[in-house]
Structure 1
Amino acid sequence: MKRNLLKSLFVTLVLVFTAIAAQAQCYIIGNDGKWLTNEAGAELQPTTEDGVYEGDVVFDDSQYFFVCTKLMDNPYDWDELLPYRYGPGTTVDFPIVYNKPLELTPAIETYNSTYKVADLGTHKIRVDFNAMTVTVDGTYPEHIYMMGTDGEWTLGVPSATLNHVEGTNLYKAKVEFTSNYFAFFKQMADTWEEQNLNRWIVKGEVLPNTELSLVKVFDKSSSYINRLGTYEVTFDYSNNTAMLYDETYVPEPETVIYFIGDDNNWALNTYFAKIPEVSDGVYEGQVKFGVGYFIIGTKLGNTINDWDTFNAHRFSSQADGEPIGAYSESPIFKNRGNYSSSFQIETGNEGEYVVTVDTNEMKIKFSGLVGISITNITSASDNITNYYDLTGRNLGTKKPAKGLYIKDGKKVVVK
């Protein structure tokens, strides 16, 4: 009896989906970056086969999309749109594998994620409501290249070549690292200007056996790995991630404070700097900061987006975006529940500092900029740049009262 009931329910669902497919229109939302519920980024056209739609879709500013069968009257009726929305049926955005039919699932409140294409540009999309699949066409490069792993940076000559794994977004190869600096390239070129248009690196420390977030750069920046040796290198073309795997690698246990933020693309399982414990509960070392936000903690996440693990070992600032700089001292707070705030390095305060994190007094302290000493004191010039007092407070461009200040990263005397 139970089996017949389930069979009847299944047949009913199939008939419902078939009816929807025969009558509905088919829209693509998100490819244009607008994310409106009353305006489609593209509309697919019905084919000669009932319930199957196709069309060319332009992805200009966005790599994400979902499918829907009806538009709303207003631009932000997300709850009303939900019954007409279809996606990957996952809680996270799902990378498309080109030319491979992927599952198309009715969205529900807890499963309303999107698909992600690997490349901007025009892709032909096929939606089949009978098979409940979506297929996106695309062309993968034959290889992904690496340069620098052998210490050589010869234009057009890769030091390693990763091969495409058929039916996936992945490229793999065994690579020997005899040099610390390297980069990935999606194609080879005849000039360095063209070559660097396809350059991808890891911002921050490269840790073996860890999923690494890659960013596209247009200069000579490189990834850095401290531990040389032979690794199985995997490059994920859709997610722009990489992994250097060595089954013999055993991470050394260490007690440190990790720095994560804009300077390492917010990858929670790696870092842009770390400082060691120098005495019980006190950590100290030199850290170089760019402009932007950062957070600190004593344990990395297990994956790039593992906030739960990192936040359980995180020290937060008093206020989100709290500015910090030369000669400053700020309180830190452990495990503040759902409210986890970050520090900010503002323009003019970037540079290298000796940083002390004291978990006994619950404070983070910045020294003056590394390399600036009393011998750097000069007379103040009339250049239009900001003055800072010795606590790092921005005093603006107007010349302050007599005294000792910081200007252009140097100590100056205003007479």
Structure 2
Amino acid sequence: MKRNLLKSLFVTLVLVFTAIAAQAQCYIIGNDGKWLTNEAGAELQPTTEEGVYEGDVVFDDSQYFFVCTKLMENAYDWDELLPYRYNPGTTEEISIVYNKPSKLTPAMEATNSSYMVADLGTHKIRVDFNAMTVTVDGTYPEHIYMMGTDDKWTLGVPSATLNHVEGTNLYKAKVEFTANYFAFFKQMADTWEEQELYRWIVKGEVLPNTELSLVKVLDGSSSYINRLGTYEVTFDYCNNTAMLYDETYVPEPETEKLIYFIGDGNSWTTNTYFGKIPEVSDGVYEGQVKFEVGYFAIGTKLGNTTNDWDTFNAHRFCPQADGEPMGAYSESPIFTYGDISSNAFQIKTGNEGEYVVTVDTNEMKIKFSGLVGISITNITSASDNITNYYDLTGRNLGTKKPAKGLYIKDGKKVVVK
């Protein structure tokens, strides 16, 4: 029995050493944003320790990467690459914590995703096929700052300071909100021009006790929270998410049915929204919604997390064609999700703005009014005043007199002859 045990141990050791010896090369794919199977974004070099590779890797267009030990002949041989690829083992291991080994898992046993670093730039990566780990060097800022929570926006003076939690990507602090508008900053600066380079906000509704996606903005816009009070604020430096937690908070039960709008206006997070309209009669919803250029989707129920598409899609309505354009006085049929292959509506440049939107789930259609604030009740002859013309979809045509037809000018309908 002892001889059989020794024989089994010997075979295991041979297999381990064979596997280590087989890692003759170590490649990083995805850091350059190309995602090709025949071209690496970087190649790590072997160290004096067999089975261990290191190298500087530049992340210039992507924060994601995976490890592989062989390149393919063609650019998109993903199935052929699979036996040579290594991924995070679970979704919790996707976000790399700097200077802390993360588990390296063969792709066939791992989650279908890649690792994520928190910052673009150059990082030293160490891959250890003996310990089956990948380690990324990086430096965290000492603090994450908030401004506006006290209604004071003083350059260089944060209204709250979040401290780094050792061994994680998280920053935390108790913060009292006495004002509604606020923003996160990854660094303090000496001028407002430089300060704006570090501003991150929540797009859409800020809901307590909910994971909120953050976006970097350069236009000075801010997050808005309706409910003031004291929250434990958590900022995830890698995933750029935040949570404002209050154990005493109890969401008000929904007493009315709503249509929620998600999309580019709230960074496509399924548990928040950039607009909502109430049910005004059985199956008919109506209200004002402000749109920016981009895509949007509608549904009667939000997801439970930022990426809970199953819940949102189960209550979603879609256009007949993906990217169906919407603007002033436009109307489009809608379909339940799964009945059609399209997903989202589109607001094109020139059609952004605020509209009264009607969603009729009886007749299955969505309808936009004219742009809110533009009156078209009177018809006059076109004058030569220097003001912009608009077509009847609300699209800005500039100050030059357009071709013959009916247009909007100075908030009124005008006839160009």
**TM-score, with length taken from structure 2:** 0.90
- State the one-letter code of the partner of 1:353: Y
Structure 1 equivalent of residue 376 of structure 2? 374
Structure 1 equivalent of residue 107 of structure 2? 107
Deviation at 1:93, TM superposition (A): 7.8
Deviation at 1:20, TM superposition (A): 2.8
- Higher deviation after alignment, 53-62 or 86-95: 86-95
Instruction: Label 1:393 to 1:97 Cα distance change in 2 as closer, same or farther (>3 A).
Output: closer
Aligned residue for 2:108, secondary structure, equals: coil
Structure 2 equivalent of residue 19 of structure 1? 18
Instruction: Label 1:349 to 1:109 Cα distance change in 2 as closer, same or farther (>3 A).
Output: farther
- State the one-letter code of the partner of 1:22: A
In 2, distance between residues paired with 1:410 and 1:18?
Answer: 81
Deviation at 1:241, TM superposition (A): 0.4
Q: Deviations over 1:150-171 (max 9, x none)?
A: 1000000000010101000000
Deviation at 1:111, TM superposition (A): 3.4
Aligned match of 1:275 in 274, 277, 290? 277
Instruction: Label 1:168 to 1:410 Cα distance change in 2 as closer, same or farther (>3 A).
Output: farther
Structure 1 equivalent of residue 141 of structure 2? 141
Structure 2 equivalent of residue 170 of structure 1? 170
Aligned residue for 1:161, secondary structure, equals: strand
Aligned residue for 1:209, secondary structure, equals: coil
Instruction: Label 1:394 to 1:189 Cα distance change in 2 as closer, same or farther (>3 A).
Output: closer
| 2:257 is equivalent to residue 253 of structure 1 | no
| 2:398 is equivalent to residue 399 of structure 1 | no
In 1, distance between residues paired with 2:244 and 2:153?
Answer: 20
- State the one-letter code of the partner of 2:311: T
In 1, distance between residues paired with 2:412 and 2:290?
Answer: 17
Contact map agreement 2:93 2:102 (CA 8 A) in 1 = no
Q: Deviations over 1:321-357 (max 9, x none)?
A: 1111111221111233573521111111111111111
In 2, distance between residues paired with 1:146 and 1:85?
Answer: 40
Instruction: Label 1:133 to 1:386 Cα distance change in 2 as closer, same or farther (>3 A).
Output: farther
Q: Deviations over 1:95-117 (max 9, x none)?
A: 10000011001112873421011
RMSD of aligned Cα (Å): 2.8
- Once the two structures are aligned, what percentage of the paired residues are identical? 82
Structure 2 equivalent of residue 321 of structure 1? 323
Contact map agreement 1:328 1:392 (CA 8 A) in 2 = no
Deviation at 1:21, TM superposition (A): 2.1
Contact map agreement 2:318 2:340 (CA 8 A) in 1 = no
- Higher deviation after alignment, 45-54 or 82-91: 82-91
Structure 2 equivalent of residue 363 of structure 1? 365
Aligned match of 1:330 in 324, 329, 332? 332
Structure 2 equivalent of residue 203 of structure 1? 203
Instruction: Label 1:384 to 1:110 Cα distance change in 2 as closer, same or farther (>3 A).
Output: farther
Q: Deviations over 1:209-253 (max 9, x none)?
A: 111010001121100011111111100000000001111212223
**TM-score, with length taken from structure 1:** 0.91
In 2, distance between residues paired with 1:59 and 1:408?
Answer: 50
Contact map agreement 2:208 2:243 (CA 8 A) in 1 = yes
Listed as ranges, the gaps of 5+ residues in structure 2 are: none
Contact map agreement 1:369 1:409 (CA 8 A) in 2 = no
Contact map agreement 1:380 1:413 (CA 8 A) in 2 = no
- Higher deviation after alignment, 228-237 or 342-351: 342-351
Contact map agreement 2:87 2:115 (CA 8 A) in 1 = yes
Structure 2 equivalent of residue 388 of structure 1? 391
Contact map agreement 1:267 1:305 (CA 8 A) in 2 = yes
In 2, distance between residues paired with 1:381 and 1:395?
Answer: 15
1:67-146 equivalence runs, <5 A:
67-90=67-90, 94-108=94-108, 111-146=111-146
Deviation at 1:398, TM superposition (A): 8.7
Q: Deviations over 1:177-223 (max 9, x none)?
A: 11000000001111001111000001111011111010001121100
Instruction: Label 1:357 to 1:156 Cα distance change in 2 as closer, same or farther (>3 A).
Output: same
Structure 2 equivalent of residue 286 of structure 1? 288
1:305-320 equivalence runs, <5 A:
305-320=307-322
In 2, distance between residues paired with 1:224 and 1:12?
Answer: 62
Structure 1 equivalent of residue 192 of structure 2? 192
- State the one-letter code of the partner of 1:285: G
Aligned residue for 1:95, secondary structure, equals: coil
Contact map agreement 2:96 2:136 (CA 8 A) in 1 = yes
- State the one-letter code of the partner of 2:18: A
Q: Deviations over 1:249-281 (max 9, x none)?
A: 122233211110111111111000111122222
Structure 2 equivalent of residue 152 of structure 1? 152
In 2, distance between residues paired with 1:103 and 1:15?
Answer: 23
Aligned residue for 1:349, secondary structure, equals: coil
- Higher deviation after alignment, 93-102 or 306-315: 93-102
